[in-house]
Amino acid sequence: MRKQRRWNLLATLALLLAVILAFVAITRIDITPVQTRDSLRLSTSARSLTVDPRQLPPSGWTTLRGELLNAGEARVDQDALEAAPLHAQLGVYANTTSELALSVPSYAASGYIWMVWDGALQAYLEEAGISIDERITLLNTLITDAPPELDPVGDGPERLADGGYYQLFTYRGRYLLDQASFRHYPFMSVSLPLLIEANDLDGSLSYEQLRLEPDIRNSGMGFNARILGWLNQGWSIAEYRHQYATNFGQGGSESDYSLVLFEISFGTSAWASVWRLLLPLAVLMAMVLLVFKVRPDEQDARASIPVTVLLTLVFLQQTYRGDLPLLPFLTFLDQVYVVAYVVTLVAFVLVIWIGRRYADMEVMEDPEMKALVRDRLEQLDNSWPVVVVIFSSLAIAVAWFTIPPGA
């Protein structure tokens, strides 16, 4: 008996040492990502965008890119807006959104984009001998062989009564999805963005020269701008200052450009996520809870339950992970599965250990010692479900509340 205990202790210490060495090794070889110096800052022009923390969802997730301007920066930006020699108002109306693919991640969309600009910008276009759509680009287009990014409707710009110019365009294609709350998966939100910016060649359409102001009143989305299985959370449009980390070889300081970001937000149904992804997991964990309710003399049946549950857990996790991109972090559901793996492993180890204890009881000659061991094993059988429920509940709660705000 003592020799067996000594071997058990050595095996436990060896396992602990292996875990520590593995943790150290992974920490040493893990890659620290390098952050790009490109950034977006919200401008002071009119916008339809929720930035008040009191109006954000409980998760803290928001479609806002970058940081808000402080009071001093806002005054400087407002002065720059009024001083810019070239102005254009830009509106977006999304007709359709479809084919949301989180694994890329990307989405398909089509709709209308229109622009209203002043005489100064028209003079610049005429001098360069180009149309305005040749100076406007959709930054997050993915399909390189798609039709023109902006397809003009009509023969050319229309002259307005106030001396300005107006032109309507259509757009369609597949676009990069750059913002989603993957850490909260399966309770997540996604933003389907359309990033519209000046396609500058010589630095004459920089942020100080050209400002694109969103047309809040007329922008919006049609009834086909939806994704089946997702809940619409509304749309937003705003102007940002896109700060590049390069001057594109033109000399001088790094380049800044006015960018209009139009996006439609969608979220998953909490109830649908629970029924589809968490209920099967809960059923499996119920099987682990009841593993010690199987009669002690049916050791094979006891041992087979954790093994079956473990294989099923691997299958279920691989199934839902196929819908997601390769993420450098664990989602909330991943962490729930980690808890399930730990509980299942502990259950299997206890099954083996309890089986050995019952085998030892058969050769015990002292009836009092035999009764004492049996009582302890029965207490373990009875306390197992309570311990698992408490541990799992606390671990899952910690996993949820430690998700970074707004992630």
* Residues 72, 48 share a domain: yes
Beta bridge partners, 220, equal 93
Q: Are 344 and 288 in contact (CB under 8 A)?
A: yes
Q: Can the peptide bond before residue 105 be classed as cis, meaning omega within 30 degrees of 0?
A: yes
Q: Residue 257: which CATH number?
A: 2.70.170.10
User: What pLDDT score was predicted for residue 356?
Assistant: 75
Distance between CA atoms of residues 321 and 292, nearest Å? 31
Residue 105 three-state SS? coil
The DSSP output letter for 163 is: S
Q: Does a structural domain hold residue 33?
A: no
User: What pLDDT score was predicted for residue 262?
Assistant: 95
pLDDT tens per residue across all 407 residues of the chain = 555 566 667 766 776 787 788 777 777 777 777 777 788 888 888 888 766 666 666 666 778 887 788 888 889 889 988 989 999 999 999 999 999 999 888 999 999 999 999 999 999 889 888 889 888 999 998 876 566 678 899 888 999 888 899 999 999 999 999 888 899 999 988 999 999 998 877 778 889 999 999 999 999 999 899 998 898 888 999 999 998 888 777 776 778 899 999 999 998 988 999 999 999 999 999 988 888 777 776 777 778 888 899 999 999 999 998 888 888 889 999 999 999 999 999 988 888 887 777 766 766 767 777 777 777 777 877 888 888 889 999 999 999 999 887 66
Helix (H) / strand (E) containing 263: strand 256-267
**From the DSSP assignment, how many helices (H) and strands (E) are in the chain?**
8, 12
Distance between CA atoms of residues 37 and 15, nearest Å? 43
Residue 259 three-state SS? strand
The token duo for 305 is 């339950």
Q: Does a structural domain hold residue 385?
A: yes
Kindly report the number of other CB atoms within 10 A of residue 270's CB atom: 12
Q: Residue 311: which domain range?
A: 272-401
* Residues 382, 365 share a domain: yes
* Residues 252, 287 share a domain: no
| 39: Cα separation from own chain's centroid | 19
* Residues 289, 262 share a domain: no
User: What pLDDT score was predicted for residue 233?
Assistant: 86
* Residues 254, 351 share a domain: no
Our count of domains for the chain comes to 2
User: What pLDDT score was predicted for residue 7?
Assistant: 62
b/e map 131-155, b = 16+ CB within 10 Å: ebbebbbbbbbeeeeeeebbeeeee
Which of 268, 287, 310 finishes a domain? 268
